[in-house]
Structure 1
Amino acid sequence: MTAGQVLKGIEFFHPGGATPLLLDLYLPAGSDAGCDTGADAGESGFPAVIHFHGGGWRMGERSSLGPTVDGFGLSPIEQLVEAGFVVASADYRLTDAATFPAQLLDAKAAVRWLRAHAADYGVDPGRIYAWGDSAGGHLASLVGLTARAATDGATDDDVAAVAAWYPPTDLNRMGEQARPDAVARADDPGSREALLIGAQPADAPDKAKAASPLTYVHPDAPPFLLVHGTADRFVPVAQSASLTEALESAGAAVELLLIEDADHMWQLPDGTQAAARQATAATIDFFRRQAQKH
């Protein structure tokens, strides 16, 4: 990484009865850092991306994109910073500490914190975006679709665009959409999805619906980029396809990139980094284009 500072472990939210939640803040060196993407500071500050990690809502850590992607050494977060973005990668409560909607409330708190401190870090408050992988993609999608919703009585949690890698989007249908060779299914006893909502989805369809981004699609949704591998054995590719169809039907802007033969965390049969590279490049290009619109 050639640009700027990394500020580790900044407290952004302290939920009642829980440990404080932290974020890592990655700052570009400046508008003259040599990036040619057009995503520089401008008069109002740098565009910013808030990242939420994956891990099935039960594990994982901020600033990680999962062991496989991290192992590739591509450093997508650092690439975004070098492209002229501030990046904040935020904690959220895992399912051993709280069930949904705690995770969404935490994600929204991260957005509000960054907007409240935009001037401190040279961020343009009108160009804040959300990005996540797997469970983090689920949260990024919910953040984008439930902006200013009265989930916790607070506002100013809107984002200007969302990129989500292989996100769960419809918890009620995940089990039936699973591949025959699925590693995990939402309707398995004690599944990640069951731990998230505190019940088996089939036994609590209303809870599953409330935790599903598909539920909140509306015409004024921010632009979306959904990226999914066609051979995903953890989150069925139909989850991204369904959300894409719903957003298109509502008249919202959405782009769907399907990467052939890619499993979860961009694993390919030949073991190469090609899928991860394609997903990273598409994500940076998407945010660059969004930043240039404003």
Structure 2
Amino acid sequence: MKMLMLLALAVIGVASIANAETTLDHSKVIPPQQATFAEFPESRSFTSGIKVVQADLSDPAVASILNVEYAKKSGMPLHVHILTPWPFDDGAADRKLPLIVFVQGSAWLKQEMYNLPQLAQMVKRGYIVAIVEYRPSAVAAFPAQITDTKSAIRFLKKNADKYNIDASKIVLWGDSSGGHTALMIAVTLDANQYDDEGQDKDPIALKAVVDYYGPTDISKMNKEPSTWDHMSAKSPEGLFIDGVDVLDNPEKVKPTIPMGYLARDRRLPPMLIVHGSKDRLVPFGQSVMMYDALKKLDKEAVMVQLKGADHGGTPFWSRDMLNLVDDFIRRHL
């Protein structure tokens, strides 16, 4: 009887279970210790019947940091949404990633940030992505969208360490009116144009620019088939130039045309232009004009016609298209 009691006490005193089927060791308290994922040990606990599946660590999760205020203009707080690999630690915190600044198109009206899920695919490919909010034309007309995006880029540069950004590797990408913003920034960087009064003139350098179906000459948009009015004072283009008729105000249109800033001695980042052949909103010829002007000055540019594609949508975010964009960017980082 005495021996049985001692045995029972021994079992109670050591909270350890070990037999042919189960391994658990809870015999002592282990103080918490900091460790990277690579340093942290595999668990030795086990029991029969557990199914073992090898973790795929090649496809990182994506975290979103939403509504980060980068400026306040015209009484309006302006934000960036930041997409980053998650978790961003375990040795990776010292590995800064290239930054894609994406300007969401909106016909220069209030933006809806609907491209966040698609852009998450670029985070999985090894980038930080920041989606920029700009002032809509109802709040501020041209060139507010350009100055706002530049302010956002400068904010991200200043906070590069916080968000694990390699500030020496910045790419600008926009779609539709955001594509126009990206082009305008690209062609005016060398002249340091369109900066807010009093704005910190921290130089902005871009490794590459990607333009998805952006308008380039608003006075010619209704000279090709389109389902939208691009001419009247109430059209998106009219509102963009302060609510006036487009064709009646060439002096307001002229500074919005990116081709007008091109010069042989002006340095430009490499440009990728992508446009659908059946775009019902921004005619395909808008991109042809931009690409043709770049070619004539021997500037580095690639244009892709997405055969059968409309204004945006799934075809622009397919694996093949993202491979093309990714390859273009990486060649110039």
Q: Could you tell me how far apart the structure 1 residues matched to 2:282 and 2:222 are?
A: 9
SS of match in other structure, 2:61: coil
Q: Could you tell me how far apart the structure 2 residues matched to 1:123 and 1:189 are?
A: 41
Compute the displacement of 1:119 (Å).
2.2
Structure 2 unmatched runs, 5+:
1-58
Structure 1 unmatched runs, 5+:
34-39, 267-272
SS of match in other structure, 1:157: coil
Instruction: With a CA cutoff of 8 Å and minimum separation of 6, indicate the structure with the bigger relative contact order.
Output: 1
- Contact kept, 8 Å, 2:118 with 2:317, in 1: the verdict is no
Deviations, residues 219-276 of structure 1 (Å, cap 9, x unaligned)? 411000100001111101111111111112222110100011211114xxxxxx4454
SS of match in other structure, 1:207: helix
Q: Could you tell me how far apart the structure 2 residues matched to 1:213 and 1:134 are?
A: 14
Partner of 2:63: 5
Larger radius of gyration: 2
TM-score by length of 1: 0.82
Partner of 1:204: 249
Q: 1:58 and 2:109 equivalent?
A: yes
Q: Which one of 133, 158, 161 corresponds to residue 116 of structure 1?
A: 158
SS of match in other structure, 1:56: coil
Q: 1:192 and 2:236 equivalent?
A: yes
- Contact kept, 8 Å, 1:30 with 1:41, in 2: the verdict is no
Deviations, residues 27-73 of structure 1 (Å, cap 9, x unaligned)? 1248999xxxxxx9996x211000111121113223x23xxxx8xxx
> Structure 2 matches for 1:25-174, cutoff 5 A?
25-29=82-86, 45-62=96-113, 64-65=114-115, 75-147=117-189, 149-152=192-195, 153=197, 154=199, 155=201, 156-174=203-221
The residue type equivalent to 2:170 in the other structure is I
SS of match in other structure, 1:14: strand
Q: Could you tell me how far apart the structure 2 residues matched to 1:255 and 1:184 are?
A: 27
Partner of 2:78: 21
SS of match in other structure, 2:181: helix
Partner of 1:216: 261
Partner of 1:285: 327
Q: Could you tell me how far apart the structure 1 residues matched to 2:230 and 2:262 are?
A: 22
Deviations, residues 65-86 of structure 1 (Å, cap 9, x unaligned)? 3xxxx8xxxx321111001001
- Contact kept, 8 Å, 1:31 with 1:84, in 2: the verdict is no
Partner of 1:264: 311
The residue type equivalent to 1:261 in the other structure is G
- Contact kept, 8 Å, 2:171 with 2:206, in 1: the verdict is yes
Q: Could you tell me how far apart the structure 1 residues matched to 2:106 and 2:193 are?
A: 27
Q: Superposition RMSD on alpha carbons, in Å? A: 2.4
Q: Could you tell me how far apart the structure 2 residues matched to 1:48 and 1:3 are?
A: 17
The residue type equivalent to 1:164 in the other structure is D
Compute the displacement of 1:280 (Å).
3.2
SS of match in other structure, 2:247: helix
Larger displacement relative to structure 2 (151-160 or 83-92): 151-160
Count of residues in correspondence between the two structures:
265
Q: Could you tell me how far apart the structure 2 residues matched to 1:206 and 1:190 are?
A: 18
- Contact kept, 8 Å, 2:80 with 2:133, in 1: the verdict is yes
- Contact kept, 8 Å, 2:232 with 2:246, in 1: the verdict is no
